[in-house]
């Protein structure tokens, strides 16, 4: 692990900020990145650019607090490097039997799995008799376990950044019933010492925070194989016409990059939903999953201009919901590629993204 700080690399004569320290706080990361956090009554907190940002520039890069493999993928995705295999992975944790690794080396590197996390995951099957949780609910429970286990095993891990996350608790009785059942199940399978200072209500809040702030890890077949909980990424508000895209690198960093030039002072946004979906579908997902009615520029546009603008950033793979992010070298766009499926965009003149006259609708 490198010392706290950032590796500075030259790109378009700008500095790109990439942290390699998993213990850096959100406040420190924001201070070191070309962003400013603003809190506004009625809108909450959001990020704006502190200087002009070039297309394709890294706005923020961080290591997730917790990354977990979804229940239905545990035997095919490595618990350490998240490499996926079509076959069952060869190295299983012999104690909990709930996680798999692609190699002995990955198994040795996964030191955070030892102790509280492993013990708790082992009890999932033992205690789940008669409790009918869906695959998605079990995946949420696994993320809760791994998050609370890290809080216990790694006291310096800045769990207070998790505490600061927005928590939107549903108010209907059915949801409340399931959340209560999930919290009681977590209490049943985790040691009292590990849960010291954590109440059932805290666990319900954590489940809701995960659902509102974590994001899925997708393979090239558009299957969600895991979840990453990265507090810094939650500071980016949603827009159906985003100027940034979020992705996970091969080194398991969560990166947010601009997809086009952004002026100093402009808000930095990502999309929480598939931007290709029609407005009614986007708004429905946002209302039911994130509890807000989207009134972004694109949602209130009646001319279709915003839709046409966004179409220039869609991944060329029809089934992919990713956005094309440019790579610029020597002030020339060498390519635009999707950070989800890695497919490159059509080979054509992309110099309009470098023009001083670049504007958005």
- State how far the Cα of 210 lies from the Cα of 245, in Å rounded to an integer: 20
Checking if the pLDDT of 10 tops 80, the result is no
Exposed/middle/buried for residue 278 (C-beta within 10 Å: 0-12, 13-18, 19+): exposed
Neighbours of 42 (CB within 10 A): 4
What distance lies between CA 342 and its chain's CA centroid? 17
Domain ranges in the chain are 6-63+230-353, 68-217
Spell out the CATH class of 6-63+230-353.
mainly beta
- State how far the Cα of 297 lies from the Cα of 88, in Å rounded to an integer: 46
Q: pTM above 0.95?
A: no
Side by side, which strands form the sheet with 58-62? 58-62, 254-258, 244-248
Checking if the pLDDT of 296 tops 80, the result is yes
329's tokens: 């070298």
Confidence of residue 128 (pLDDT cuts 50, 70, 90): low
Per residue in 273-287, pLDDT tens?
A: 999 999 999 999 999
CB 2 within 8 A of CB 21: yes
- State how far the Cα of 158 lies from the Cα of 260, in Å rounded to an integer: 32
pLDDT recorded at residue 129? 57
53's tokens: 């940002």
């Amino acid at each position: 692990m490198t010392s706290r700080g950032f590796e500075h690399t030259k790109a378009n004569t700008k500095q790109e900020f990439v942290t390699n320290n998993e213990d850096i706080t959100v406040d420190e990361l924001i201070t070191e990145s070309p962003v400013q956090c603003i809190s506004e009554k009625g809108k909450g907190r959001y990020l704006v650019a502190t200087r002009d940002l070039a297309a394709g520039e890294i706005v923020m890069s961080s290591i997730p607090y917790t990354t977990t493999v979804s229940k239905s993928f545990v035997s095919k995705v490595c618990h350490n490097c998240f490499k996926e295999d079509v076959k069952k992975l060869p190295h299983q944790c012999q104690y909990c039997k709930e996680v798999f690794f692609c190699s002995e080396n990955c198994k040795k590197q996964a030191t955070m799995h030892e102790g509280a996390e492993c013990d708790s995951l082992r009890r999932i099957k033992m205690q789940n008799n008669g409790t009918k949780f869906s695959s998605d609910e079990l995946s949420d429970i696994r993320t809760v376990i791994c998050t609370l286990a890290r809080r216990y095993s790694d006291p310096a891990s800045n769990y207070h950044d998790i505490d600061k996350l927005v928590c939107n608790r549903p108010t209907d009785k059915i949801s409340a019933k399931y959340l209560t059942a999930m919290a009681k199940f977590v209490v049943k399978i985790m040691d009292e010492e590990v849960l010291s200072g954590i109440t059932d209500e805290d666990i319900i809040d954590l489940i809701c925070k995960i659902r509102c702030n974590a994001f899925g890890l997708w393979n090239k077949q558009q299957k969600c194989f895991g979840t990453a909980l990265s507090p810094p990424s939650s500071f980016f508000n949603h827009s159906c016409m985003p100027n940034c895209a979020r992705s996970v690198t091969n080194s398991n960093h969560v990166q947010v990059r601009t997809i086009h030039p952004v002026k100093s002072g402009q808000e930095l946004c990502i999309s929480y939903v598939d931007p290709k979906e029609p407005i009614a579908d986007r708004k429905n997902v946002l209302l039911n999953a994130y509890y807000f009615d989207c009134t972004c520029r694109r949602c209130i546009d009646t001319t279709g201009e915003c839709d046409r603008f966004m179409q220039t950033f869609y991944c060329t793979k029809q089934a992919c919901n990713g956005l094309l992010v440019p790579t610029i070298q020597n002030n020339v766009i060498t390519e635009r590629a999707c950070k989800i499926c890695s497919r490159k965009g059509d080979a054509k003149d992309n110099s309009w993204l470098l023009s001083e006259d670049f504007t958005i609708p």
